[in-house]
Amino acid sequence: MSFRPFQFLKRMLPSGLYWRSLMIIVLPMVMLQAFVTYVFMERHWQMVTEALSRSAVADIAMLLSEYEQDPGEAAANRIAAQASEFLEMSVAFLPDEKLPETNTGYEGLLDRSLADEIRLRIAKPFWIDGERYDDYVDIRIAYDGGVMRALPLRSHVYAANSHIFIVWMVAASIVLVIVALLFLRNQIRPIERLAEAAEDFGMGRDVENFKPQGASEVRRAAIAFMQMRSRIRAQIEQRTAMLAGVSHDLRTPLTRFKLQLAMLKDGPEIEELRNDVREMERMLDDYLDFVRGDPSEISQMTDLGELLKEIQFDSQRKGHTVTLELHGALELPLRRNAFKRCLTNIIDNAGKYAGEVWVTAIRDEGDIDIIVDDNGAGIPDEQLEEVFRPFYRLDEARNLDEGGTGLGLAIARDIARGHGGDIQLARSPMGGLRAVIHVPV
Ligand SMILES: Nc1ncnc2c1ncn2[C@@H]1O[C@H](COP(=O)(O)OP(=O)(O)O)[C@@H](O)[C@H]1O
Ligand SMILES: [Mg+2]
């Protein structure tokens, strides 16, 4: 596999909208800050410091040259007085003194620019200490026969409080990020709510008082979702009503049929006809049962374990052997009656077409699996999907004729899907059929 930088980047990026938008805001800001800080430090700060050093060194150069024209104690005192009065700088001329031996190399911005200026303007041996005093910088310059010592104010040679600018910038951007955080949260909440509502609807759950909120695009999506939801509901209701109507209306001619058959003389053909009519009646009854299943049933918190025990009890009363096993927390919102019918259809099938039934319910991360195993004949692999078709029955089942119509699995799957889940059939380790009913929690 080749290395794909964009795929890699995609995986590294946060997937949630919140973190993504935060990144979109914070990243450019940090970049801007880094850039501005760099430019500021490199250019502005340096330029200001250089300008200040230049003028301080010019002052010192002037004082020194004045002294050198007329060396002597009187001149030294006069110059020191002038420097302290007009330049706020203490100056002393120390004859017979030498420069200190230590030399600090002049690394920092201040030392460096001072040293450069002294080399340029005075061109005499010198020594600088910018560290020793908090408020002053110690500058010493050797002249013929002595050392001049000058202590200019630090703030006169160095753009000292420039770091305040950076502190302000960082503080301002922290405030900005916090404001963005709060606003973003409010912008994203309506999207989260819409996603939750859509998920709930997909799982057949009630979406309580959902209202379109937030930015206009989100609101539009929410309105579209609500319209889609009511269209789907109307469609389901209409389909159900139509099926119920058809099934119901068919019963009238069928009853007439039955009456007419009853009046005919007995004979083998008549008996066959009666059987057919009876089967049609049963199909219609099943159908009506199915569509009568309340479509407006509201989903409510249900203990699936309890529901399964109920079904086990009912099933055992019908003479089936059902073993039940429950694992984990099995509470979830369900349309109870509908879901009971779904499970009953599957478990009854197993009881009907096999001798023994094992039911296991397992809570997994975000869903629950109900596994129904039996030790019967099972279903051939190529028909595992076919049997979900309405009225589809295997030949063995027809021969056995336990009074089924082939609707059970179709109904069960319809209900499972209505809860956002599904049903899968497979071969069971117990020898027969395995049905797995899966529902999201
Ligand atoms: N546990 C099972 N073992 C073997 N065959 C099964 C099992 N469950 C269902 N079937 C087959 O699938 C067909 C469809 O099942 P279903 O829809 O419940 O209809 P019905 O039970 O009314 O015949 C059944 O007729 C039967 O042939
Ligand atoms: Mg059945």
Domain holding 244: CATH number? 1.10.287.130
* Burial of residue 204 (number of CB atoms within 10 Å: 0-12, 13-18, 19+): buried
Does residue 417 register a pLDDT over 80?
Answer: yes
Do 292 and 321 lie in one domain? The reply is: no
Does residue 275 register a pLDDT over 90?
Answer: no
Does residue 404 register a pLDDT over 90?
Answer: no
Query: What pLDDT band is residue 398 in, cutting at 50, 70 and 90?
Result: low
CA of 308 to the centre of ligand 2 (A): 17
What residue ranges line ligand 1, CB within 6 angstroms? Answer: 345, 349-350, 353-354, 374, 376-379, 387, 393-394, 397, 404-410, 432-433
Total count of domains within the chain: 3
Return the pLDDT at 159: 73
Return the pLDDT at 293: 67
Do 59 and 79 lie in one domain? The reply is: yes
Range of the domain at 68: 17-158
- Express each pLDDT in 151-179 by its tens digit: 999 888 877 666 777 788 888 888 988 89
Does residue 199 register a pLDDT over 60?
Answer: yes
Residue nearest to atom 9 of ligand 1 (CA): 349
Find the helix packing angle between 408-418 and 336-353, rounded to 10°. 140
Average per-residue pLDDT in the chain?
A: 88
Return the pLDDT at 348: 93
Query: What pLDDT band is residue 139 in, cutting at 50, 70 and 90?
Result: very high
Does residue 143 register a pLDDT over 70?
Answer: yes
Which residue, of 158, 186, 213, is where some domain finishes? 158
Whether 354 is covered by a domain: the verdict is: yes
- Structure tokens given for 207: 């979406």
Distance CA 90, CA 136 (A): 10
Whether 163 is covered by a domain: the verdict is: no
Do 332 and 419 lie in one domain? The reply is: yes
- Express each pLDDT in 201-214 by its tens digit: 888 887 778 889 88
- Express each pLDDT in 31-73 by its tens digit: 888 888 888 777 877 888 889 889 999 999 999 999 999 888 8
Instruction: Give 223-227 contacts, CB < 8 A, sequence gap 24+.
Output: 225/194, 225/197, 225/198, 225/201
> Counting ligands in written order, which one lies closest to the CA of residue 348?
2
Whether 247 is covered by a domain: the verdict is: yes
Do 51 and 95 lie in one domain? The reply is: yes
Whether 187 is covered by a domain: the verdict is: no
Do 414 and 312 lie in one domain? The reply is: yes
Among 15-19, 254-258, 362-366, 370-374, which is the least confidently predicted range?
15-19
C-alpha torsion 31→33→34→37, nearest 10: 160
Return the pLDDT at 413: 93
Do 277 and 326 lie in one domain? The reply is: no
pTM of structure = 0.66
CATH number of the domain enclosing 309: 3.30.565.10
Whether residue 376 contacts residue 340, with contact meaning beta carbons closer than 8 Å, is answered with: no
Whether 150 is covered by a domain: the verdict is: yes
Do 274 and 312 lie in one domain? The reply is: no
Do 308 and 398 lie in one domain? The reply is: yes
Which residue, of 131, 158, 185, is where some domain finishes? 158
Do 422 and 357 lie in one domain? The reply is: yes
Whether 11 is covered by a domain: the verdict is: no
Residue nearest to atom 4 of ligand 1 (CA): 378
Going through 64-103 in order, the beta strands assigned E by DSSP cover 89-95
Do 99 and 123 lie in one domain? The reply is: yes
Do 416 and 330 lie in one domain? The reply is: yes
Do 436 and 303 lie in one domain? The reply is: yes
Whether 141 is covered by a domain: the verdict is: yes
- The stretch 385-404 carries a mean pLDDT of 79
Say which residues have a Cβ less than 8 Å from residue 59's Cβ, sequence separation at least 6. 83, 87, 89, 152
- Express each pLDDT in 61-120 by its tens digit: 999 999 999 888 889 999 999 999 999 999 999 988 888 887 666 777 778 888 889 999
CA of 325 to the centre of ligand 2 (A): 22
> Counting ligands in written order, which one lies closest to the CA of residue 394?
1
For a pocket test of ligand 1, which of 287, 353, 400 has the largest count of ligand atoms closer than 8 A to its C-beta?
A: 353
CATH number of the domain enclosing 49: 3.30.450.300
Whether 250 is covered by a domain: the verdict is: yes
What residues flank ion ligand 2 with Cβ within 5 A?
Answer: 349, 404, 408
Classify each residue of 114-141 as buried b or exposed e, where b means 16 or more C-beta atoms within 10 Å of its C-beta.
Answer: bbebbeeebeeebbbebeeeeebbbbbb
Read out DSSP for 265-333? Answer: PP-HHHHHHHHHHHHHHHHHHHHHHHHHS-TTPPPEEEEHHHHHHHHHHHHHHTT-EEEEEEES--EEE
- The stretch 128-145 carries a mean pLDDT of 88
Which residue, of 158, 182, 208, is where some domain finishes? 158
Query: What pLDDT band is residue 342 in, cutting at 50, 70 and 90?
Result: very high
